[in-house]
Structure 1
Amino acid sequence: MSDLPYRPNVGAVLFNHEGRVLVARRAPQPGRGETGSGAWQLPQGGMDEGESPRAAVLRELAEEIGTDRAEILAEHEEWLHYDLPEHLVGVVWGGKWRGQRQRWFALRFTGQDSDIRLDADAHQEFDAWRWAALEELPDLAVAFKRPIYETLVRSFARFAVPVAGQPGDGASPPSS
């Protein structure tokens, strides 16, 4: 396993105007050999050759949740890694990778809930989504991703607050 490289990947911690984050439930993936069906996770995905992490995270949002209506707020300062459990190495991703090397971003969702379309891509990865408190993330994650989610909670806690002037926060939107 240690001879295999890490798969380059990006992840999105997408905050709404209330300071909650989007989590999505993995849909069953017949024939892909992956576990985690039914588990809740943050949107994430592989980077294309030559693609920048910033471009990849917006592309992945569009592919996985049907919208790229988001602005990047921050980037975690370092790449985070996880190893697959031993029984999945050689099964997931065609056996090419030992785990993932991830660049994580905090983003602010600029759309409406109706903009989120899990069925927008032919290879639907999720079958449900919801807004959750940032602190819930580690408890929702599969065990081998939990340390990364704990890091993200600490790194992006400053964004888990309501945004003034947005619908639902009791403040009036700015007039034009």
Structure 2
Amino acid sequence: MLDREGFRPNVGIILLNANNQVWWGKRVREHSWQFPQGGIKYGESPEQAMFRELEEETGLLPEHVKIIGRTRDWLRYEVPDHFIKREIRGHYRGQKQIWFLLRMIGRDCDVNLRASNHPEFDAWRWHEYWVPLDVVIEFKRGVYQLALQELSRYINRNDNSGGNRHRHTRPPAKLENKAGEPQKTEQEEHK
């Protein structure tokens, strides 16, 4: 299911523990790390897709998490042609994502990377909120930075998880494009 511009609707999930660390998964048989994410199926709301993807990729159920916030708008990234199957090149451009910020209220032992028949991850860990984006595949880095920045405003605000409220650091400097110029956020581009 693609929109008119060739973007597939998708959800991304940033899962926090009580120490405001993020859940970070290692892709199966790869050396790249990422947050859980996945496509929105026809007829699903972004929230329904988020809970389905969360269970498929981490084994966590709705009772293991609490929704803290979500991005206001779609965040988009384009996929380079060499990553796109030949039969859909020219139609498919990338993903548009709604990102959710969740608080883990379950236990670490509730995580089950083998919850589906097609696991996405073969390892996971908790990491400081501002994860090192250099381990994320290059074309997703800008969206990750935008999602982390937008959702950071929800941390410790109206969140009664009872966990240790340790301060998260400032976001890293803006990413640069290939020409070495700062990348603009979607909000800056529309001004």
TM-score, reference length from structure 1: 0.80
Q: 2:186 matched to which residue of 1?
A: none
> 2:162 maps to what in 1?
165
Identity of aligned residues (%): 38
**Any residues of structure 2 matched to 1:4-23 within 5 Å, and which?**
5-23=6-24
Supply the distance in 1 between the matched residues of 2:79 and 2:121 (Cα, whole angstroms): 20
Q: Is structure 2 residue 150 aligned with structure 1 residue 149?
A: no
Match of 1:54 among 19, 22, 47: 47
Cα deviations by residue, 1:101-156 (Å, 9 ceiling, x for unpaired): 11111111110000000011110110000011121152331110000111122112
| Distance of aligned partners of 1:118 and 1:22 in 2 relative to their CA distance in 1, 3 Å threshold | same
Structure 2 CA distance for partners of 1:48 and 1:108, relative to 1, 3 Å: same
Q: Look up the match of 1:98.
A: 93
Question: Are 1:8 and 1:101, in contact at CA under 8 Å, matched by a contact in 2?
Answer: yes
Q: How far does residue 165 in structure 1 lie from its aligned partner after superposition?
A: 3.1
State yes or no: 1:107 paired with 2:102. Answer: yes
Gaps of 5+ in 1: 29-36, 171-176
State the TM-score, normalized to the length of structure 2.
0.74
Cα distance between partner residues in 1 of 2:5 and 2:86? 13
Following superposition, the deviation at residue 97 of structure 1 comes to 2.8
For structure 2, the residue ranges without an aligned partner over 5 or more in a row are: 166-191
Say which of 31, 35, 43 aligns to 1:42: 35
Q: Secondary structure at the match of 2:133?
A: helix
The 1:164–1:119 alpha-carbon spacing in structure 2 relative to 1, beyond 3 Å, is closer
Root-mean-square deviation (Å): 2.4
User: 2 CA distance for matches of 1:158 and 1:4?
Assistant: 30
**Deviation per CA, 1:10-66, whole angstroms, max 9, x where unpaired?**
0101011110110100003xxxxxxxx221000000111110001110110000001
State the 1:160 CA deviation.
Answer: 4.8
Q: CA deviation at 1:67?
A: 0.8
Q: Number of aligned pairs? A: 157
